[in-house]
Amino acid sequence: MKFVDPRHDCPRDPWHTIGGEDGPLVTITPASYLLLTLAQWHSARATWPAGKPVGVIVPNDAAIEDLAPDLPQLALVALQFPKWTDGRAYSQARLLKRRWRYAGEVRATGDVLVDMVPLLARTGFDVAVLRHDQSPEAAAETLKFFGAGHYQADTAEHRPLFARQGAAA
């Protein structure tokens, strides 16, 4: 898992948004690495040129299945955590990775805390944009807490522990 630290400019992160998130839609000129709101994407998707990487920001109350037909065009899906206690984006990520086998980047945005990182990784997130008071170093350390693995299946390991043990015997 990679981490984006909002406290510092991230020169390795090429994704950028454009204006018009809550107001009237602006005219969108296709460019590589644009991160569009869902409304912006719906207005531009029919004419989006192939080969131009584009991402979409999906609110956690949106029906993620509505995005399924567009997934082959999307290089990034940014899922939002408006509060760290609101976990609907975990379900959205899992659906993207397991049900629709989305191979692009799934990014956690919003109120993303270090404590969330292990579950983010298990549900299919590739990148986390950490809240401004969170440390990427501490986030990376949390991924080491469960080195022996988990009992339940997740997006990386599709079999629960008992099925893995049975297959090894």
Strand 34-37 to strand 2-4: parallel, antiparallel, or no bridges (unpaired)?
unpaired
- What is the spatial distance between Cα 154 and Cα 152, in angstroms, rounded to a whole number? 7
Of 15-19, 56-60, 121-125, the least confident: 15-19
pLDDT, one tens digit per residue, over 33-51 is 999 999 999 999 999 999 9
Mean pLDDT of the chain: 87
pLDDT, one tens digit per residue, over 132-155 is 999 999 999 998 886 656 656 667
What DSSP state is assigned to residue 97? I
Instruction: Give the residue-averaged pLDDT of 88-116.
Output: 96
- Burial profile 103-137: b = 16 or more Cβ within 10 angstroms, e = fewer: ebbbbbbbbbbbebbbebbbbbbbbbbbbeebebe
- What is the spatial distance between Cα 107 and Cα 105, in angstroms, rounded to a whole number? 6
| Whether the predicted pLDDT of 101 surpasses 50 | yes
State which H helix or E strand residue 53 sits in.
none
pLDDT reported for residue 143:
86
pLDDT reported for residue 34:
95
| Whether the predicted pLDDT of 71 surpasses 50 | yes
pLDDT, one tens digit per residue, over 54-66 is 999 999 999 999 9
pLDDT reported for residue 168:
61
